[in-house]
Amino acid sequence: MPIDWELVAKGAAGAAGIAGAAVQVGKLRGSLTASLKADLDLLEKLKGLNNKESYGILKASIDRRIAEKYGSTREKGRLGLPKVKRPGEFLFGIILLIGFSVWSAYLLRNGFRWVALIPAFFALAGLGSVMSGFEDRPPPVAVATGGEADRVGVQA
């Protein structure tokens, strides 16, 4: 059986793309740490300015991000698996993932076709929705507008 070099090249290109995406995600993780460090520095500066409302908002945001990053808020559901916190988004993601995966596989049944990438993309979007179903929604942050800006110490 001869080797299909075109198929080998496509597989290598796909693997290189996945490796590149993994490297980019690693860089993003580093920038999140840098952002957290900058916010901690700002928190120290706000501490001395006696601006309790801004200090509280920033401290709550930092506490939430630290808990997310280091996993101290992961609740366990049945069988020790992570608890689904947003069931609607989780269910929507499962439907997208299964439905578009089946459609993509159906389009690929007789060989590779470029059009099969479209439902495959939506299947990946469904996977992202499933993953975000396990995350808490961050609390809303009050935004000062108009006359409120002077009261909370925001400079125009």
Q: What is the pLDDT of residues 12-49, one digit of tens each?
A: 787 777 777 777 766 665 566 777 888 888 878 777 77
Instruction: Read off the tokens for 36.
Output: 């957290």
| CA Rg value for the chain | 23
For the chain, the structural domain boundaries read 1-73, 76-135
| Contact criterion met (CB below 8 Å) for 144 and 151 | yes
pLDDT, residue 76, reads: 65
Kind and range of the H or E run holding 116: none
Highest mean pLDDT among 70-79, 120-129, 132-141 belongs to: 120-129
Cα three-residue angle 68-83-132, rounded to 5 degrees: 55
How many angstroms separate the CA atoms of 91 and 93, rounded?
5
Q: pTM for the complete prediction? A: 0.45
